[in-house]
Amino acid sequence: MRRSCFPKFRLSRAMAWLQLVLGGLVIVVSISSLFRFYAAGFFMHNEDICLHFYSVKDVYDGFDIRALSDRVGEVLNRMESLQDKLEKTVQQLEKEKDALDKTITRLEYKNFLEVEVIRPLYSAHIALRQIRLPKAEGIGNFTMEEEPLINTFVTEEIRKYITPKKNRVGKVNIYGAEKIHNTIGHACVLMKKELEEYMDYDIGSYCKDDWNLAQKLMVNGCDPLPRRRCLTRASKVYQKPFPINESLWKLPDGRNVRWSNYQCRNFECLSSKNPKRGYSKCTGCFEMDKEKPKWVANRSVPVDFLISDILAIKPGETRIGLDFGVGTGTFAARMREQNVTIVSTALNLGAPFNEMIALRGLIPLYVTLNQRLPFFDNTMDLIHTTGFMDGWLDMLLLDFILFDWDRILRPGGLLWIDRFFCNKKDLDDYMYMFLQFRYKKHKWAISPKSKDEVYLSALLEKPPRAI
Ligand SMILES: *[C@@H]1O[C@H](CO)[C@@H](O)[C@H](O)[C@H]1NC(C)=O
Ligand SMILES: *[C@@H]1O[C@H](CO)[C@@H](O)[C@H](O)[C@H]1NC(C)=O
Ligand SMILES: *[C@@H]1O[C@H](CO)[C@@H](O)[C@H](O)[C@H]1NC(C)=O
Ligand SMILES: *[C@@H]1O[C@H](CO)[C@@H](O)[C@H](O)[C@H]1NC(C)=O
Protein backbone atom coordinates (compact mmCIF):
# COMPACT_ATOMS: atom_id res chain seq x y z
CA MET A 1 0.00 0.00 0.00
CA ARG A 2 2.73 2.39 1.04
CA ARG A 3 4.85 1.41 -1.88
CA SER A 4 2.11 2.20 -4.32
CA CYS A 5 1.65 5.75 -3.16
CA PHE A 6 5.39 6.44 -2.81
CA PRO A 7 5.93 7.83 -6.26
CA LYS A 8 3.12 10.29 -5.71
CA PHE A 9 4.63 11.31 -2.38
CA ARG A 10 7.99 11.72 -4.02
CA LEU A 11 6.49 13.81 -6.73
CA SER A 12 4.82 16.23 -4.33
CA ARG A 13 8.06 16.47 -2.30
CA ALA A 14 9.98 17.18 -5.45
CA MET A 15 7.45 19.83 -6.41
CA ALA A 16 7.87 21.43 -2.99
CA TRP A 17 11.65 21.44 -3.39
CA LEU A 18 11.32 22.94 -6.79
CA GLN A 19 9.11 25.66 -5.37
CA LEU A 20 11.60 26.40 -2.64
CA VAL A 21 14.52 26.49 -5.01
CA LEU A 22 12.63 28.72 -7.39
CA GLY A 23 11.67 30.94 -4.49
CA GLY A 24 15.33 31.21 -3.57
CA LEU A 25 16.23 32.08 -7.11
CA VAL A 26 13.56 34.75 -7.22
CA ILE A 27 14.97 36.25 -4.08
CA VAL A 28 18.52 36.14 -5.35
CA VAL A 29 17.44 37.78 -8.58
CA SER A 30 15.41 40.40 -6.75
CA ILE A 31 18.33 41.20 -4.49
CA SER A 32 20.70 41.61 -7.37
CA SER A 33 18.26 43.82 -9.21
CA LEU A 34 17.64 45.73 -6.03
CA PHE A 35 21.30 46.48 -5.84
CA ARG A 36 21.47 47.42 -9.45
CA PHE A 37 18.65 49.90 -8.85
CA TYR A 38 20.40 51.03 -5.77
CA ALA A 39 23.63 51.66 -7.61
CA ALA A 40 21.83 53.39 -10.44
CA GLY A 41 19.98 55.63 -8.03
CA PHE A 42 16.48 54.77 -9.16
CA PHE A 43 15.23 55.24 -5.65
CA MET A 44 15.80 58.91 -6.05
CA HIS A 45 13.03 61.37 -6.52
CA ASN A 46 11.87 61.84 -10.07
CA GLU A 47 13.62 65.14 -10.59
CA ASP A 48 16.87 63.60 -9.54
CA ILE A 49 16.83 60.75 -12.02
CA CYS A 50 17.93 62.98 -14.87
CA LEU A 51 20.66 64.42 -12.69
CA HIS A 52 21.84 60.90 -12.17
CA PHE A 53 22.73 60.61 -15.81
CA TYR A 54 25.01 63.59 -15.62
CA SER A 55 26.81 62.61 -12.49
CA VAL A 56 26.01 59.69 -10.30
CA LYS A 57 28.55 60.80 -7.77
CA ASP A 58 27.00 64.09 -6.86
CA VAL A 59 23.46 62.90 -6.46
CA TYR A 60 22.47 61.38 -3.24
CA ASP A 61 20.19 63.91 -1.77
CA GLY A 62 16.69 62.65 -2.17
CA PHE A 63 17.97 59.12 -2.04
CA ASP A 64 15.61 57.10 0.09
CA ILE A 65 17.92 54.87 2.04
CA ARG A 66 15.28 54.13 4.60
CA ALA A 67 12.99 52.61 2.00
CA LEU A 68 15.87 50.64 0.58
CA SER A 69 16.89 49.52 4.01
CA ASP A 70 13.34 48.33 4.69
CA ARG A 71 13.27 46.36 1.44
CA VAL A 72 16.62 44.75 2.10
CA GLY A 73 15.43 43.92 5.58
CA GLU A 74 12.39 42.17 4.14
CA VAL A 75 14.53 40.18 1.74
CA LEU A 76 16.82 39.16 4.55
CA ASN A 77 13.91 37.92 6.60
CA ARG A 78 12.54 35.96 3.68
CA MET A 79 15.94 34.41 3.01
CA GLU A 80 16.31 33.46 6.62
CA SER A 81 12.97 31.71 6.76
CA LEU A 82 13.68 29.95 3.48
CA GLN A 83 16.95 28.69 4.87
CA ASP A 84 15.22 27.45 8.01
CA LYS A 85 12.69 25.63 5.89
CA LEU A 86 15.34 23.99 3.75
CA GLU A 87 17.39 22.91 6.74
CA LYS A 88 14.37 21.45 8.48
CA THR A 89 13.48 19.48 5.40
CA VAL A 90 16.99 18.11 5.17
CA GLN A 91 16.78 17.05 8.81
CA GLN A 92 13.48 15.40 8.02
CA LEU A 93 15.10 13.54 5.15
CA GLU A 94 17.91 12.48 7.47
CA LYS A 95 15.40 10.95 9.86
CA GLU A 96 13.78 9.05 7.03
CA LYS A 97 17.12 7.53 6.01
CA ASP A 98 15.60 4.06 5.69
CA ALA A 99 13.30 5.20 3.00
CA LEU A 100 16.14 7.11 1.39
CA ASP A 101 18.38 4.02 1.26
CA LYS A 102 15.96 2.41 -1.07
CA THR A 103 15.98 5.28 -3.46
CA ILE A 104 19.49 6.43 -4.24
CA THR A 105 18.09 9.26 -6.25
CA ARG A 106 16.69 10.81 -3.08
CA LEU A 107 20.04 10.57 -1.28
CA GLU A 108 21.61 12.23 -4.23
CA TYR A 109 18.86 14.73 -4.09
CA LYS A 110 19.66 15.48 -0.44
CA ASN A 111 23.35 15.98 -1.19
CA PHE A 112 22.39 18.11 -4.08
CA LEU A 113 20.27 20.30 -1.85
CA GLU A 114 22.93 20.59 0.78
CA VAL A 115 25.75 21.39 -1.56
CA GLU A 116 23.99 23.14 -4.32
CA VAL A 117 21.21 24.95 -2.53
CA ILE A 118 21.74 25.44 1.18
CA ARG A 119 25.41 26.30 1.06
CA PRO A 120 25.15 28.90 -1.68
CA LEU A 121 22.03 30.28 -0.12
CA TYR A 122 23.80 30.48 3.20
CA SER A 123 26.80 32.26 1.76
CA ALA A 124 24.52 34.62 -0.12
CA HIS A 125 22.70 35.27 3.09
CA ILE A 126 25.94 36.03 4.92
CA ALA A 127 27.15 38.16 2.06
CA LEU A 128 23.95 40.15 2.17
CA ARG A 129 24.22 40.56 5.92
CA GLN A 130 27.75 41.84 5.50
CA ILE A 131 26.64 44.56 3.14
CA ARG A 132 26.23 47.54 5.35
CA LEU A 133 23.97 50.25 4.20
CA PRO A 134 25.78 53.52 3.87
CA LYS A 135 26.71 54.99 7.20
CA ALA A 136 27.62 58.48 8.20
CA GLU A 137 31.29 57.69 7.62
CA GLY A 138 30.51 56.95 4.00
CA ILE A 139 31.82 53.95 2.19
CA GLY A 140 34.06 55.55 -0.33
CA ASN A 141 33.17 57.57 -3.35
CA PHE A 142 30.19 55.58 -4.49
CA THR A 143 26.80 57.24 -4.82
CA MET A 144 25.62 56.31 -1.40
CA GLU A 145 27.15 58.42 1.25
CA GLU A 146 24.48 58.64 3.86
CA GLU A 147 24.33 61.95 5.67
CA PRO A 148 23.33 61.89 9.29
CA LEU A 149 19.62 62.50 9.73
CA ILE A 150 18.88 62.88 6.05
CA ASN A 151 16.51 59.94 5.89
CA THR A 152 14.64 61.17 8.89
CA PHE A 153 13.06 63.94 6.90
CA VAL A 154 10.78 63.85 3.90
CA THR A 155 10.63 67.60 3.36
CA GLU A 156 12.91 68.29 0.42
CA GLU A 157 14.25 71.59 1.70
CA ILE A 158 15.39 70.00 4.98
CA ARG A 159 17.15 67.26 3.03
CA LYS A 160 18.81 69.78 0.75
CA TYR A 161 19.95 71.76 3.75
CA ILE A 162 21.44 68.75 5.50
CA THR A 163 23.22 67.48 2.43
CA PRO A 164 26.83 68.69 2.51
CA LYS A 165 27.82 71.21 -0.11
CA LYS A 166 30.96 70.16 -1.90
CA ASN A 167 33.38 72.79 -3.10
CA ARG A 168 32.81 73.52 -6.75
CA VAL A 169 36.30 72.90 -7.97
CA GLY A 170 36.69 69.78 -5.91
CA LYS A 171 39.53 71.29 -3.95
CA VAL A 172 39.96 72.16 -0.34
CA ASN A 173 38.51 75.59 0.45
CA ILE A 174 39.97 78.42 2.50
CA TYR A 175 38.67 76.74 5.63
CA GLY A 176 40.59 73.58 4.81
CA ALA A 177 37.41 71.60 4.17
CA GLU A 178 36.26 69.69 1.11
CA LYS A 179 32.62 70.37 1.79
CA ILE A 180 30.41 72.36 4.07
CA HIS A 181 27.95 70.59 6.30
CA ASN A 182 25.00 72.71 7.32
CA THR A 183 24.00 71.70 10.80
CA ILE A 184 20.78 71.16 12.68
CA GLY A 185 20.15 70.16 16.25
CA HIS A 186 19.41 66.52 16.82
CA ALA A 187 16.25 67.46 18.73
CA CYS A 188 14.86 68.39 15.30
CA VAL A 189 14.24 64.67 14.92
CA LEU A 190 12.07 64.65 18.02
CA MET A 191 10.17 67.69 16.79
CA LYS A 192 9.82 66.46 13.27
CA LYS A 193 6.20 67.52 12.90
CA GLU A 194 6.86 71.08 14.05
CA LEU A 195 10.03 71.30 11.98
CA GLU A 196 8.28 70.13 8.84
CA GLU A 197 5.54 72.67 9.44
CA TYR A 198 8.21 75.33 9.90
CA MET A 199 10.02 74.21 6.77
CA ASP A 200 6.90 74.25 4.64
CA TYR A 201 7.72 77.37 2.65
CA ASP A 202 8.37 78.55 -0.87
CA ILE A 203 12.02 79.20 -1.57
CA GLY A 204 12.63 82.86 -2.39
CA SER A 205 9.22 84.08 -1.26
CA TYR A 206 8.25 85.74 2.00
CA CYS A 207 8.62 83.67 5.14
CA LYS A 208 5.63 83.07 7.32
CA ASP A 209 5.60 85.29 10.37
CA ASP A 210 6.29 82.34 12.64
CA TRP A 211 9.37 83.29 14.63
CA ASN A 212 7.58 81.98 17.69
CA LEU A 213 7.46 78.49 16.21
CA ALA A 214 11.14 78.89 15.33
CA GLN A 215 11.94 79.92 18.87
CA LYS A 216 9.97 77.00 20.28
CA LEU A 217 12.05 74.66 18.13
CA MET A 218 15.26 76.38 19.19
CA VAL A 219 14.69 76.38 22.92
CA ASN A 220 13.84 72.70 22.72
CA GLY A 221 17.17 71.93 21.11
CA CYS A 222 16.31 71.98 17.40
CA ASP A 223 18.96 74.56 16.86
CA PRO A 224 20.32 75.85 14.52
CA LEU A 225 17.30 75.87 12.27
CA PRO A 226 17.43 74.87 8.62
CA ARG A 227 15.17 77.58 7.19
CA ARG A 228 17.45 79.87 5.22
CA ARG A 229 15.83 80.62 1.91
CA CYS A 230 12.88 82.89 2.41
CA LEU A 231 12.64 86.63 2.90
CA THR A 232 11.92 87.64 6.43
CA ARG A 233 9.04 89.98 6.96
CA ALA A 234 9.64 93.42 8.40
CA SER A 235 7.49 96.19 9.71
CA LYS A 236 5.89 98.07 6.81
CA VAL A 237 6.38 101.36 8.64
CA TYR A 238 9.95 100.88 9.86
CA GLN A 239 11.42 104.19 11.02
CA LYS A 240 15.07 105.05 11.13
CA PRO A 241 16.41 104.36 14.64
CA PHE A 242 17.17 107.11 17.13
CA PRO A 243 20.78 108.36 17.13
CA ILE A 244 23.02 106.65 19.66
CA ASN A 245 23.18 109.63 22.00
CA GLU A 246 19.39 109.24 22.42
CA SER A 247 18.65 105.60 21.76
CA LEU A 248 20.24 104.08 24.86
CA TRP A 249 17.67 105.43 27.29
CA LYS A 250 14.62 106.02 25.17
CA LEU A 251 11.76 103.61 24.59
CA PRO A 252 12.06 102.76 20.88
CA ASP A 253 9.50 103.52 18.24
CA GLY A 254 6.91 100.74 18.29
CA ARG A 255 6.53 100.90 14.54
CA ASN A 256 9.92 99.22 14.18
CA VAL A 257 8.64 95.92 15.53
CA ARG A 258 6.29 93.36 14.05
CA TRP A 259 3.89 92.81 16.91
CA SER A 260 1.64 90.14 15.42
CA ASN A 261 2.91 87.36 17.67
CA TYR A 262 2.86 89.35 20.89
CA GLN A 263 0.02 90.28 23.16
CA CYS A 264 1.10 93.91 23.10
CA ARG A 265 1.13 96.16 20.05
CA ASN A 266 3.60 98.80 21.28
CA PHE A 267 6.40 99.26 23.81
CA GLU A 268 4.29 101.30 26.21
CA CYS A 269 1.95 98.31 26.59
CA LEU A 270 4.85 96.22 27.96
CA SER A 271 4.79 98.23 31.18
CA SER A 272 4.75 96.21 34.39
CA LYS A 273 1.44 97.88 35.27
CA ASN A 274 -0.27 96.05 32.43
CA PRO A 275 -1.28 92.55 33.58
CA LYS A 276 -1.76 91.49 29.94
CA ARG A 277 1.74 92.50 28.84
CA GLY A 278 2.54 88.94 27.73
CA TYR A 279 5.87 88.31 29.45
CA SER A 280 6.87 87.48 33.01
CA LYS A 281 10.67 87.61 33.14
CA CYS A 282 12.31 90.88 34.17
CA THR A 283 9.02 92.59 34.84
CA GLY A 284 9.39 96.30 34.33
CA CYS A 285 12.48 96.15 32.20
CA PHE A 286 10.69 97.97 29.38
CA GLU A 287 10.34 101.01 31.66
CA MET A 288 13.37 103.22 31.41
CA ASP A 289 12.84 104.97 34.72
CA LYS A 290 12.96 101.58 36.43
CA GLU A 291 16.03 100.52 34.48
CA LYS A 292 18.12 103.63 35.03
CA PRO A 293 19.15 103.01 38.68
CA LYS A 294 20.35 99.45 38.00
CA TRP A 295 24.08 98.93 38.65
CA VAL A 296 24.73 102.64 39.22
CA ALA A 297 22.70 103.67 42.26
CA ASN A 298 23.45 102.36 45.75
CA ARG A 299 20.87 99.81 46.82
CA SER A 300 20.10 98.45 50.21
CA VAL A 301 20.97 94.79 49.54
CA PRO A 302 24.61 93.66 49.51
CA VAL A 303 24.05 91.42 46.47
CA ASP A 304 23.80 94.46 44.20
CA PHE A 305 27.26 95.43 43.02
CA LEU A 306 27.91 98.69 41.20
CA ILE A 307 29.46 98.80 37.75
CA SER A 308 31.88 101.50 38.94
CA ASP A 309 33.14 99.19 41.69
CA ILE A 310 33.58 96.29 39.34
CA LEU A 311 35.42 98.30 36.71
CA ALA A 312 37.64 99.80 39.40
CA ILE A 313 39.03 96.35 40.17
CA LYS A 314 40.84 96.28 36.86
CA PRO A 315 40.90 99.81 35.51
CA GLY A 316 40.91 99.94 31.73
CA GLU A 317 41.21 96.19 31.38
CA THR A 318 37.55 95.46 30.83
CA ARG A 319 36.70 96.28 27.24
CA ILE A 320 34.47 93.53 25.85
CA GLY A 321 32.06 91.13 27.43
CA LEU A 322 28.90 89.13 27.42
CA ASP A 323 25.71 89.71 29.34
CA PHE A 324 23.99 86.37 29.65
CA GLY A 325 20.45 86.59 30.85
CA VAL A 326 17.05 88.09 30.24
CA GLY A 327 16.78 91.81 29.85
CA THR A 328 16.46 94.79 27.56
CA GLY A 329 20.14 95.66 27.34
CA THR A 330 20.41 98.06 30.25
CA PHE A 331 23.61 96.47 31.52
CA ALA A 332 25.14 96.84 28.06
CA ALA A 333 23.91 100.43 27.87
CA ARG A 334 25.58 101.34 31.16
CA MET A 335 28.75 99.57 30.10
CA ARG A 336 28.73 101.34 26.78
CA GLU A 337 28.78 104.61 28.65
CA GLN A 338 32.01 103.32 30.19
CA ASN A 339 33.34 102.47 26.73
CA VAL A 340 32.86 98.75 27.34
CA THR A 341 31.23 96.75 24.54
CA ILE A 342 28.76 94.18 25.81
CA VAL A 343 26.83 91.64 23.75
CA SER A 344 23.50 90.79 25.37
CA THR A 345 21.87 87.40 24.96
CA ALA A 346 18.15 87.60 24.40
CA LEU A 347 15.24 85.39 23.56
CA ASN A 348 11.89 86.87 22.66
CA LEU A 349 10.06 85.34 25.59
CA GLY A 350 6.68 86.98 25.14
CA ALA A 351 8.10 90.39 24.28
CA PRO A 352 10.45 91.78 21.61
CA PHE A 353 13.63 91.68 23.72
CA ASN A 354 15.94 91.34 20.72
CA GLU A 355 14.35 94.23 18.87
CA MET A 356 14.42 96.38 22.00
CA ILE A 357 18.14 95.81 22.57
CA ALA A 358 18.97 96.47 18.93
CA LEU A 359 16.82 99.60 18.79
CA ARG A 360 18.67 100.91 21.83
CA GLY A 361 21.82 100.66 19.72
CA LEU A 362 23.20 97.58 21.48
CA ILE A 363 23.97 94.09 20.24
CA PRO A 364 21.46 91.33 20.91
CA LEU A 365 22.71 87.78 20.62
CA TYR A 366 19.92 85.37 19.84
CA VAL A 367 21.11 82.17 21.52
CA THR A 368 19.53 79.48 23.60
CA LEU A 369 20.95 77.75 26.65
CA ASN A 370 21.87 74.70 24.64
CA GLN A 371 24.24 76.51 22.30
CA ARG A 372 27.96 76.56 22.63
CA LEU A 373 28.63 80.27 22.61
CA PRO A 374 29.90 81.62 19.30
CA PHE A 375 33.07 83.12 20.78
CA PHE A 376 36.57 81.76 20.68
CA ASP A 377 38.48 80.53 23.72
CA ASN A 378 40.02 83.11 26.08
CA THR A 379 38.51 86.15 24.40
CA MET A 380 36.07 87.86 26.77
CA ASP A 381 37.08 90.29 29.51
CA LEU A 382 33.79 89.92 31.34
CA ILE A 383 30.76 87.69 31.61
CA HIS A 384 27.84 89.12 33.52
CA THR A 385 24.81 87.00 34.22
CA THR A 386 21.52 87.86 35.76
CA GLY A 387 17.88 87.03 35.63
CA PHE A 388 17.63 83.53 34.34
CA MET A 389 20.13 81.28 36.07
CA ASP A 390 17.87 80.60 38.96
CA GLY A 391 17.20 77.34 40.69
CA TRP A 392 15.30 75.51 37.95
CA LEU A 393 18.42 74.79 35.95
CA ASP A 394 19.52 71.19 35.78
CA MET A 395 22.94 70.78 37.40
CA LEU A 396 24.49 69.04 34.45
CA LEU A 397 23.19 71.69 32.06
CA LEU A 398 24.56 74.36 34.38
CA ASP A 399 27.89 72.58 34.32
CA PHE A 400 27.98 72.63 30.51
CA ILE A 401 27.15 76.33 30.56
CA LEU A 402 29.73 77.21 33.19
CA PHE A 403 32.49 75.32 31.41
CA ASP A 404 31.61 77.16 28.21
CA TRP A 405 31.85 80.47 30.02
CA ASP A 406 35.18 79.44 31.43
CA ARG A 407 36.29 78.63 27.90
CA ILE A 408 35.50 82.04 26.45
CA LEU A 409 36.67 84.06 29.46
CA ARG A 410 40.25 85.23 29.12
CA PRO A 411 42.77 84.69 31.89
CA GLY A 412 42.18 87.56 34.30
CA GLY A 413 38.64 87.92 32.94
CA LEU A 414 35.78 88.48 35.37
CA LEU A 415 32.70 86.38 35.96
CA TRP A 416 29.98 88.46 37.57
CA ILE A 417 27.17 86.35 38.93
CA ASP A 418 24.45 88.87 39.67
CA ARG A 419 21.50 87.98 41.88
CA PHE A 420 21.49 84.30 41.18
CA PHE A 421 18.77 82.85 43.33
CA CYS A 422 17.87 79.40 44.49
CA ASN A 423 16.37 77.51 47.33
CA LYS A 424 18.40 77.79 50.52
CA LYS A 425 18.94 74.05 50.68
CA ASP A 426 20.40 74.00 47.16
CA LEU A 427 22.86 76.78 47.84
CA ASP A 428 25.76 74.49 48.69
CA ASP A 429 25.39 72.60 45.41
CA TYR A 430 25.37 75.79 43.39
CA MET A 431 28.25 77.25 45.33
CA TYR A 432 30.23 74.17 44.52
CA MET A 433 29.35 74.64 40.84
CA PHE A 434 30.55 78.22 40.82
CA LEU A 435 33.65 77.59 42.86
CA GLN A 436 34.85 74.46 41.09
CA PHE A 437 36.94 76.52 38.67
CA ARG A 438 39.03 77.94 41.52
CA TYR A 439 38.54 81.49 40.42
CA LYS A 440 39.82 84.29 42.57
CA LYS A 441 37.00 85.65 44.74
CA HIS A 442 36.74 89.44 44.55
CA LYS A 443 33.22 89.75 45.88
CA TRP A 444 30.81 87.30 47.38
CA ALA A 445 27.44 88.14 48.87
CA ILE A 446 24.37 86.23 49.91
CA SER A 447 21.12 87.76 51.07
CA PRO A 448 17.64 86.38 51.66
CA LYS A 449 15.09 86.64 48.89
CA SER A 450 12.17 85.07 50.67
CA LYS A 451 11.65 82.67 53.53
CA ASP A 452 13.19 79.74 51.63
CA GLU A 453 15.15 81.44 48.88
CA VAL A 454 18.41 83.30 48.79
CA TYR A 455 20.24 85.57 46.39
CA LEU A 456 23.86 84.98 45.58
CA SER A 457 26.13 87.49 43.87
CA ALA A 458 29.78 86.97 43.17
CA LEU A 459 32.62 88.51 41.29
CA LEU A 460 35.17 85.89 40.33
CA GLU A 461 38.36 86.15 38.32
CA LYS A 462 39.62 83.46 35.99
CA PRO A 463 43.21 82.67 36.91
CA PRO A 464 45.99 82.30 34.35
CA ARG A 465 46.52 78.71 33.27
CA ALA A 466 50.11 77.65 32.93
CA ILE A 467 49.26 74.51 30.99
C1 LIG B 1 37.68 58.85 -4.09
O2 LIG B 1 38.08 59.14 -5.40
C3 LIG B 1 39.35 59.71 -5.51
C4 LIG B 1 39.63 60.02 -6.97
O5 LIG B 1 38.45 60.10 -7.67
C6 LIG B 1 40.39 58.75 -4.94
O7 LIG B 1 41.68 59.34 -4.99
C8 LIG B 1 40.03 58.42 -3.51
O9 LIG B 1 40.94 57.46 -3.01
C10 LIG B 1 38.62 57.89 -3.43
N11 LIG B 1 38.26 57.69 -2.05
C12 LIG B 1 37.76 56.55 -1.62
C13 LIG B 1 37.46 56.51 -0.16
O14 LIG B 1 37.53 55.61 -2.33
C1 LIG C 1 22.52 113.79 19.59
O2 LIG C 1 23.51 114.16 18.68
C3 LIG C 1 23.04 114.97 17.62
C4 LIG C 1 24.21 115.26 16.69
O5 LIG C 1 25.01 114.16 16.53
C6 LIG C 1 22.46 116.28 18.15
O7 LIG C 1 21.94 117.03 17.11
C8 LIG C 1 21.39 115.96 19.16
O9 LIG C 1 20.93 117.15 19.77
C10 LIG C 1 21.92 115.05 20.24
N11 LIG C 1 20.83 114.65 21.10
C12 LIG C 1 20.94 114.72 22.40
C13 LIG C 1 19.73 114.30 23.18
O14 LIG C 1 21.95 115.08 22.94
C1 LIG D 1 27.18 104.61 47.47
O2 LIG D 1 27.44 104.62 48.86
C3 LIG D 1 28.78 104.83 49.20
C4 LIG D 1 28.95 104.75 50.70
O5 LIG D 1 27.94 104.06 51.26
C6 LIG D 1 29.26 106.16 48.67
O7 LIG D 1 30.64 106.34 48.97
C8 LIG D 1 29.02 106.22 47.18
O9 LIG D 1 29.35 107.51 46.69
C10 LIG D 1 27.59 105.90 46.82
N11 LIG D 1 27.46 105.83 45.39
C12 LIG D 1 26.45 106.28 44.71
C13 LIG D 1 26.51 106.12 43.22
O14 LIG D 1 25.51 106.81 45.23
C1 LIG E 1 34.90 106.93 26.44
O2 LIG E 1 35.62 107.26 25.28
C3 LIG E 1 35.47 108.62 24.89
C4 LIG E 1 36.19 108.82 23.58
O5 LIG E 1 37.42 108.18 23.58
C6 LIG E 1 36.00 109.54 25.97
O7 LIG E 1 35.83 110.87 25.60
C8 LIG E 1 35.26 109.26 27.25
O9 LIG E 1 35.78 110.00 28.32
C10 LIG E 1 35.33 107.80 27.61
N11 LIG E 1 34.45 107.53 28.72
C12 LIG E 1 34.85 106.85 29.80
C13 LIG E 1 33.85 106.70 30.88
O14 LIG E 1 35.97 106.39 29.92
* Model confidence pLDDT, tens digit, residues 340-390: 999 999 999 999 999 999 999 999 999 999 999 999 999 999 999 997 667
305/290 Cα distance (integer angstroms): 17
Ligand nearest to the CA of 309: 3
Q: Are residues 304 and 394 in the same domain?
A: yes
Residue 344 belongs to a domain: yes
416 and 267 in a common domain: yes
Nearest ligand 2 atom to alpha carbon 244: 1
Give the closest residue (by CA) to ligand 4 atom 12: 338
- State if residue 141 touches ligand 1 by the CB under 6 angstroms criterion: yes
Which sign, positive or negative, has the C-alpha torsion 232, 238, 240, 244? negative
**From the CA of 140, how far away is ligand 1's center (Å)?**
7
Rounded alpha-carbon distances, angstroms, from residue 107 to 89, 94, 115, 348, 426? 13, 9, 12, 80, 80
3-class secondary-structure state, position 246: helix
Overall domain count for the chain? 3
Cβ neighbours around 154 below 10 Å, total: 11
Q: Which residue, of 79, 97, 130, is where some domain finishes? A: 130
CA of 130 to the centre of ligand 1 (A): 22
Which pLDDT belongs to residue 466?
83
What Å distances lie between residue 463 and 342, 406, 414, CA to CA? 22, 10, 10
Rounded alpha-carbon distances, angstroms, from residue 263 to 207, 219, 259, 350 = 21, 20, 8, 8
Domain span including residue 364: 246-461
Q: Note whether 442 and 316 are same-domain residues.
A: yes
Residue 174 belongs to a domain: yes
* CA contacts within 13 A on the Cβ side of 141: 5
Give me the amino acid identity at 136: A
Q: Tell me the ligand closest to 299's alpha carbon.
A: 3
- Closest-lying ligand to the alpha carbon of 142? 1
Residue 283 has pLDDT above 80, yes or no: yes
Residues 342, 335 contacting (CB under 8 angstroms):
yes
Q: Which of 30-34, 194-198, 278-282, 439-443 has the lowest mean pLDDT?
A: 30-34
Across 262-267, average pLDDT: 96
Q: Are residues 108 and 173 in the same domain?
A: no
Q: What angle do CA 219, 223, 229 make, to 5 degrees?
A: 120
- Alpha carbon of 234 to ligand 2 centroid (Å): 27
**Domain CATH for 394:** 3.40.50.150
In 287-439, DSSP assigns E strands to 320-325, 341-345, 363-365, 380-386, 409-423
- pLDDT at 63 exceeding the cut of 90: no
Q: What is the mean pLDDT of residues 9-14?
A: 55
Query: Where does the pLDDT of residue 447 fall: very low under 50, low under 70, confident under 90, or very high at 90 and above?
Result: very high
* Test site for ligand 3: of 298, 337, 338, most ligand atoms within 8 A of the Cβ: 298
Please report the pLDDT score of residue 146 as a whole number.
57
Q: Quick one: average pLDDT of 437-447?
A: 95
The answer to whether residues 336 and 451 belong to one domain is yes
Confirm or reject: Cβ of 246 under 6 Å from ligand 2.
Answer: yes
Q: Average the pLDDT over 289-316 and give the result.
A: 93
Q: What is the mean pLDDT of residues 415-433?
A: 92
Mutate to test the pocket of ligand 1, among 141, 171, 172 (most ligand atoms within 8 A of CB): 141
pLDDT at residue 40 greater than cutoff 70: no
269 falls within a domain: yes
The torsion angles phi and psi of 421, rounded to 5 degrees, stand at -130, 150
Domain boundary among the residues 182, 201, 219 is at 219
What confidence tier does 136 reach under pLDDT thresholds 50, 70, 90? very low
| Pair 187, 220: CB distance under 8 Å | yes
pLDDT in the model for residue 64: 60
Task: Indicate if 30 and 76 belong to the same structural domain.
Answer: yes
Considering the domain architecture, whether residues 50 and 197 belong to the same structural domain is answered as no
Which of 113-122, 298-307, 421-430, 439-448: highest mean pLDDT? 439-448
The verdict on the CB of residue 245 being under 6 Å from ligand 2 is yes
Give nearest CA residue, ligand 3 atom 3: 298
Taking the C-alpha atoms of residue 466 and residue 415, their distance in angstroms, rounded to an integer, is: 20
Residue 238 domain flag = no
Confidence of residue 127 (pLDDT cuts 50, 70, 90): low
pLDDT-based confidence at 50, cuts 50/70/90?
A: very low
252 and 327 in a single domain? The answer is yes
Burial of 8 (0-12, 13-18, 19+ CB in 10 A): exposed
Q: Is 387 inside any structural domain?
A: yes
**Ligand 3 pocket residues where CB is under 6 Å:** 297-298
Among all ligands shown, which has an atom nearest to the Cα of 243? Answer: 2
pLDDT at 32: 57
SS3 442: strand
Which pLDDT does position 42 carry in this prediction?
42
What is the whole-number distance in angstroms between the Cα of residue 169 and the centre of ligand 3?
65
- 446 shares a domain with 362: yes
**What's the mean pLDDT in 417-440?**
92
Query: Which ligand is nearest the CA of 306, by number?
Result: 3
Share of the chain above pLDDT 70, in %: 78
End-to-end CA distance of the chain: 95
- The larger pLDDT score, comparing residue 153 to residue 130, is at 153
- How are beta strands 380-386 and 363-365 bridged, if at all? unpaired
Name 384's bridge partners: 323, 416
For the Cβ of 140 lying below 6 angstroms from any atom of ligand 1, the answer is yes
245 CA → ligand 2 middle, Å = 6
Identify whether residues 330 and 195 lie together within a single domain: no
- 101 plus 187 within the same structural domain: no
For the beta carbon of residue 97, count every other beta carbon within 10 angstroms.
Answer: 11
Domain membership flag for residue 48: yes
Please indicate, yes or no, whether residues 123 and 21 belong to a single structural domain of this protein. yes
CA atoms within 13 A on the CB side of 9: 10
Is pLDDT above 70 for 307? yes
Confidence of residue 59 (pLDDT cuts 50, 70, 90): very low
Q: How many angstroms separate the CA atoms of 268 and 287, rounded? A: 8
